[in-house]
Amino acid sequence: MRCVVLRGAGRHFQAGADLSFLHHLRTVSPEENFDFSRRTVAAIEGLRHFPRPTLALIHGGCFGGGVGIAAACDIAIAAEDAVFALTEVRWGITPAPVIPLLVDRLGSRALGRLALTGERFGAAEALRIGVVHEICPAADLDGASGRIVENILMAAPEAVAMTKRLIAEAVETPETPAFRDRIAT
């Protein structure tokens, strides 16, 4: 496997969580709620630290945890008519499992506004704040992804995997002597 491409199977990349399940989460014990959050974090972190490049192709709606999934991918492309929102606060919960990743990717100011209001935003705003890297016409989403995948396939797989690990390590331990020693080898 050289890369993973994620795309919604229907009209949306991710239309949001099951609202009846979210209502159920409000009624369970703190331990059960934490367990669900822990599994969500594990899924996002698994995607983020997957050893091969990951590419999200966003079309339709990208709501709640879908924004976290897009941000967890190495590369994200959105159709120009895609719509995004962190709507959890509207349902009486928080986007806690994806907040650390989104702070890293978007910064606290952009995330604060979007996570506190639950407001929708379009692909142009998603590009401006760093949720996605590129916008294209909806009909060209496959073409845009094909160009990215083609470039990934031209690169040496182990060099790509090592580069991805080094980027993750640099985020976690920037400018430390141990990191500089590691990249000097």
Q: Catalytic one among 32, 45, 80, 88?
A: 88
CA distance 147 to 164: 19
Active site residue 32: no
Beta bridge partners of 171: none
Q: Give the residue ranges of DSSP H helices in the chain.
A: 19-25, 30-48, 65-72, 99-106, 108-117, 123-129, 141-154, 157-172, 177-183
Quote the Cα angle for 102-105-108, to 5°: 60
The residues annotated with a catalytic role in the active site are 88
